[in-house]
């Protein structure tokens, strides 16, 4: 149980376009989902926290107008990278929380390459 | 504010040797602590976690960690390294989401 999926697993897009990444909890309802990014050979950094039906909370330094997060249901959160630039190329990982803060389950990640 | 510090960005051991990866935390509240492993180009896999109760936590693949409040540490150990253990290891503490350490790359030599 407690499986989280991400789609797509990898995507290449041209500079200036937008790309949407989906995060789904497959066998549980997630009250809260988190989005992280990981640059090559670096650690994961929390970008934002999303709760179903409410606006996402962004970490300091993360542009909310560039990284649009929508948590439309208890099993789906989406991250849209708008007007992508090469510096947005990264590994984006989501996690879903079932209840307690320590019950988080991570998706497999999405590798975004902007050319 | 919560934070974790992983000492040593690279650790190399011989196959069969003891693995010790160090993690110290800072937390203003009783922490929940985690160790994750990441293989190249893959997501995170939970090795073990400490929430409450027994301070020695056993995880998957023969790994274990001990929560030491007096030392604010949560070091990861494995008695005998396997080649398949070569990966990146992250220590994390709960905050908003998880706060991750900078990671330790474990190399295992035959």
Contact B102 A43 (CB under 8 A): yes
Check pLDDT > 80 for residue A1. no
Phi-psi region of B80 (alpha: psi -120 to 50; beta: other; left: phi over 0): beta
Rounded Cα–Cα distance for residues A8 and A113 (Å):
12
A92 and chain B in contact, CB less than 8 A: no
Residue B97's pLDDT is 87
Chain B positions in Cβ-Cβ contact with residue A111 (cut-off 8 Å): 41
Closest-CA residue of A relative to B52 is: A102
Cβ atoms of residues B64 and B78 within 8 Å: yes
Count of CB pairs separated by less than 8 Å, A with B: 49
Chain B positions in Cβ-Cβ contact with residue A46 (cut-off 8 Å): 95-99
Chain A 8-67, residues with CB within 8 Å of chain B CB atoms: 34, 36, 42-46, 49, 57, 59
In chain A, the largest separation of any two C-alpha atoms, in whole Å, equals 39
Interface test with B, best of A2, A10, A102 (most B CBs within 10 A): A102
- The pLDDT tens digits for B8-66 are 999 999 999 999 999 999 988 889 999 999 998 788 999 999 998 899 999 999 999 99
End-to-end CA distance of chain B: 41
3-state secondary structure of B18: coil
- The pLDDT tens digits for A24-83 are 999 999 989 999 999 888 899 999 999 888 889 999 999 999 999 999 899 999 999 999
Check pLDDT > 90 for residue B2. no
Find the angle CA(B67)-CA(A1)-CA(B29) to the nearest 5 degrees.
30
Rounded Cα–Cα distance for residues B51 and B68 (Å):
13
Contact B99 A95 (CB under 8 A): no
Contact B44 A93 (CB under 8 A): yes
Chain B positions in Cβ-Cβ contact with residue A49 (cut-off 8 Å): 96-97
């Amino acid at each position: 149980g407690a499986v989280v999926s991400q789609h797509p697993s990898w995507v290449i897009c041209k500079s200036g376009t937008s790309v949407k990444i989906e995060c789904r909890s497959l066998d549980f309802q997630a009250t809260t989902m988190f989005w992280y990014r990981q640059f090559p050979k670096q650690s994961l950094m929390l970008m934002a926290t999303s709760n179903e039906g409410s606006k996402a909370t962004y970490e300091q330094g993360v542009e909310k107008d560039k990284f649009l997060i929508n948590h439309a249901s208890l099993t789906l959160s989406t991250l849209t990278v708008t007007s992508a630039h090469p510096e947005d190329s990264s590994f984006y990982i989501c996690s879903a929380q079932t209840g307690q803060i320590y019950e988080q389950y991570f998706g497999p990640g999405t590798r975004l390459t902007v050319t | 504010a919560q934070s974790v510090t992983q000492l040593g960005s690279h650790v190399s051991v011989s196959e069969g040797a003891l693995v010790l990866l160090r993690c110290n935390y800072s937390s203003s509240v009783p922490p929940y602590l985690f160790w994750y492993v990441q293989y190249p180009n893959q997501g995170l896999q939970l090795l073990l976690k400490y929430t409450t109760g027994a301070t020695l936590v056993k995880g998957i693949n023969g790994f274990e960690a001990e929560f030491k409040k007096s030392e604010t540490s949560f070091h990861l150990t494995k008695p005998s390294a396997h080649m398949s253990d070569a990966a990146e290891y992250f220590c994390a503490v709960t905050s908003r989401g998880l706060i991750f350490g900078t990671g330790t790359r474990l190399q295992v030599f035959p």
